[in-house]
Homo-oligomer: A and B are copies of this chain.
Amino acid sequence: MKNSIFSHRSIRKFKSKGIGEATLRKIINAGIRASNTGNMQVYSIIVTQDPIIREQLWDQVHFKQNMVKQAPVHVTFCVDVNRFHKWCEISNTEISYDNFLWFINGSVDAVLASQNTTLEAENEGLGVCYLGTVTYNADKVIQILDLPKGVIPITAIVMGYPDEDPDLTDRLPYEGVVHMEKYQDYSLEAIKNIHKEKEESEFYKNIVAENNVPNLATVFTEKRYKKQDNIHMSNAFLTVLKDQGFFNQ
């Protein structure tokens, strides 16, 4: 039995070989075993293998990133109170999960399921890449995957047999992200030290040079995640939350 936790890397090149049905089912069942709020399972998992639908997602949602088109299996993890509300309907009880709290509860549940799915896929020799883009263009996901009111995508992964073997990615020092007892706020000196190794690595120095900006933080704020885009996507996702019925409060 493999433990894939410490060997996880995002895989962005896949072989064309699909995933067998039994393996796929085992992997998704791993997701379902994760903890969830009150064991109500207010999430849904959508497994997409159809090349036409996957191409729509690649084109309209995921900024045409290669690995999205290449990977044979695309899995979308959604908050889902639609199923629960229909159960309330046939049980003659009140519809009461149409609010922000249940978006949060369902989000946590769906993301826990996604990580179990990811790790079990890796245990089975598959490679996985998370797609944060699913929330940037949630309205398009809703259209393409026919998500009804009460359902919102919160994360997605693609998976398949890996056709690359990248190194582990760097992380900030342990003390930079872990706090003992309470939050220990950072002095500007501490912030400098936490990012020192990263900023001095050849890998990131090259990225800074290629982007023609003064430092690494600016790569993120001016090149990759610009303020105007962040604001646009924040408002777009809040609109989706309202449209899908999570703001009846």
Contact = CB atoms under 8 A, between A and B. Distances in A.
Interface in A133-176: 135-136, 144-148, 151, 154-155, 168-172, 174, 176
A39 B132 CA distance: 12
A22 interface: no
B32 A5 contact: no
A12 to B, nearest CB: 12
A126 interface: no
B91 A217 contact: yes
Interface residues of A, number: 115
Interface in A192-249: 192, 194-195, 214-218, 220-222, 224-227, 230-231, 233-235, 237-238, 249
Contact of A34 (B3, B8, B104, B186): B8
B94 A33 contact: no
Count of this chain's copies in the oligomeric assembly? 2
A23 B237 CA distance: 39
B108 A132 contact: yes
A177 B157 CA distance: 17
A174 B28 contact: yes
A22 to B, nearest CB: 13
Interface in A36-87: 37-41, 43-50, 53, 78, 80, 82-84, 86-87
A104 B103 CA distance: 11
A19 to B, nearest CB: 13
A216 to B, nearest CB: 7
